[in-house]
Each structure stands twice: as structure tokens, then as C-alpha cells.
């Protein structure tokens, strides 16, 4: 970012507080967050104000919340697959139809694939661990 002074910390806070940044999804949101993190890192430490600190804190707090949501999504996939496996085992143990059990497995796998796509979209809308670490380091050095 060669022109870091084009956007000041107050404007960056307004962007991050705007609709769709934290409650949206997809690559566009991730791009916005990555650009905001890059902006925060290129501001010289001597020019970092209280507003800058608030931007950095908002980005880090959002990253923590996004990570929590990501873990919940992964847990939901694991729980659904375990439930499907239990249903299949119960159906086969009761002398159920192998074809019906196979259909349950296929339905669970299709659902798992849909969940993986959702998780991938959620991941693209987050700051990477590397970005978070760099931003945290800059915040700590500023403080």
C-alpha cells in the first residue's frame, strides 16, 4: 500500500463497522479484511493513534469470532457424519436393507460435501492465521 494516507483510521473504522463486513461471507469480505490488515501494518508506528489501535483491535476481535464460527461449522459436519454412521450401523444391525443403508451413507456424503463448500466460503472470508499474527505483533509493538 503505497498510499496509506489516502484512508485514515476513522474511515477504516467506518468501513469495518459497515454492513456486510462481519456478517457477510465470501472472498470479497476476506479481501476487505486483508486490505484493512495490510493498511494497519503499513502505518508507521510513530503515526499510530488511538483510532489505529481501535481498527487493529476490531480486526483481531473479528478474527477470533470468525475462527469460533469456523470451529462450530467443522463440529457440525463431524456430528452429522457420526450420526449418519450410527444410523447406518443401527439399520444394518436390525437386519435392515443394505440398499437403504447405502442411500443414507450417500445422503450423508452429499451433505458433507455441501458443508465443506460452506466451510471453504467461510474460510475465504477470514483473515489468515499469518495475517492475524502479523497484526497482533504490530499491535503489541505499538502498545
pLDDT truncated to tens, each residue of the chain (143 aa)? 555 667 888 899 888 887 777 666 667 778 888 999 999 999 999 999 999 999 999 999 888 887 777 667 778 777 877 777 777 777 777 776 667 777 777 777 777 777 777 777 777 778 888 999 999 999 999 98
Question: How many whole angstroms separate alpha carbon 113 and alpha carbon 111?
Answer: 5
Distances (CA, A) of 38 to 6, 31, 100, 125: 14, 10, 52, 15
Contact by Cβ (8 Å): 126, 70: yes
Contact by Cβ (8 Å): 62, 101: no
Residues counted in the chain: 143
Domain hosting 98: range is: 4-142
Domain count of the chain? 1
Q: What is the pTM of this model?
A: 0.69
Angle between helices 50-93 and 9-17 (to 10 degrees): 30
Q: Which of these, 42, 69, 81, 60, lies nearest to 9 by C-alpha position?
A: 42
Which positions ≥6 away from 116 have C-beta within 8 Å? Answer: 77
Amino acid at each position: 500500500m503505497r498510499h496509506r494516507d489516502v484512508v485514515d483510521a476513522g474511515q477504516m473504522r467506518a468501513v469495518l463497522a459497515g454492513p456486510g463486513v462481519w456478517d457477510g461471507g465470501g472472498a470479497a469480505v476476506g479481501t476487505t479484511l486483508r486490505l484493512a490488515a495490510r493498511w494497519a501494518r503499513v502505518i508507521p508506528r510513530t503515526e499510530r493513534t488511538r483510532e489505529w489501535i481501535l481498527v487493529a483491535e476490531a480486526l483481531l476481535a473479528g478474527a477470533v469470532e470468525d475462527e469460533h464460527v469456523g470451529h462450530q461449522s467443522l463440529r457440525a459436519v463431524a456430528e452429522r457424519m457420526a450420526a449418519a454412521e450410527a444410523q447406518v450401523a443401527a439399520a444394518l444391525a436390525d437386519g435392515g436393507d443394505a440398499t437403504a443403508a447405502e442411500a443414507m451413507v450417500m445422503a450423508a456424503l452429499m451433505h458433507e460435501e455441501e458443508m465443506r463448500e460452506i466451510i471453504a466460503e467461510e474460510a475465504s472470508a477470514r483473515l489468515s492465521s499469518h495475517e492475524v499474527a502479523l497484526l497482533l505483533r504490530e499491535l503489541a509493538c505499538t502498545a
